[in-house]
Amino acid sequence: MEQRKQPKRKKQDKFTKSAKGQDCTVNYPGCMFQDGTTRFAHLRDNTTGYGTKEQNIHGAYACQHCENIYSGLKSIGLPAMAIELHFLLAIIKTQKIMIKQGILEL
């Protein structure tokens, strides 16, 4: 049986670890907001292929509900462009939190 190539995982760092205990910043309709499932969700990189993730500052704090919508596992009937725009705004919100907490320095 042929081995499937696993996507390369980036190591956890201060940016991805900072998602623990945070509120979701993505907030698609139905967002669980503070349900304890929030983790760091990377921006999808559509330029370099499946399994490739953006840098660890290019992501958002996302609850399981919102991550499932962003990754396409769940649909709530929003157009793809709205899903993408919502996520990009969440990255900005996430980076503002990181800056405020001194995790991301300018």
Binding interface with Zn ion (CB under 5 A) = 24, 26, 31, 63, 66
Minimum Å gap between C-beta 20 and Zn ion is 15
Nearer to Zn ion, 51 or 82 (CB): 82
What ranges in 1-106 are assigned the alpha helix state H?
14-17, 64-70, 80-100
CB of 23 to Zn ion, least distance (A): 8
CB of 103 to Zn ion, least distance (A): 20
Which is closer to Zn ion, CB of 52 or CB of 68?
Answer: 68
Look at phi and psi of residue 81 and say left if phi exceeds 0, alpha if psi is from -120 to 50, else beta.
alpha
Find the shortest distance in angstroms from Cβ 69 to Zn ion.
Answer: 8
Task: Considering the complex, state which of residue 63 and residue 83 has its C-beta at the smaller distance from Zn ion.
Answer: 63
Q: Which is nearer to Zn ion, 15 or 61 (CB)?
A: 61
Q: Which long-range contacts (CB under 8 A, 24 or more apart) does 37-42 make?
A: 37/63, 37/64, 37/65, 38/62, 38/63, 39/67, 40/15, 40/16, 41/66, 41/67, 41/70, 41/71, 41/87
The DSSP bridge partners found for residue 46 are none
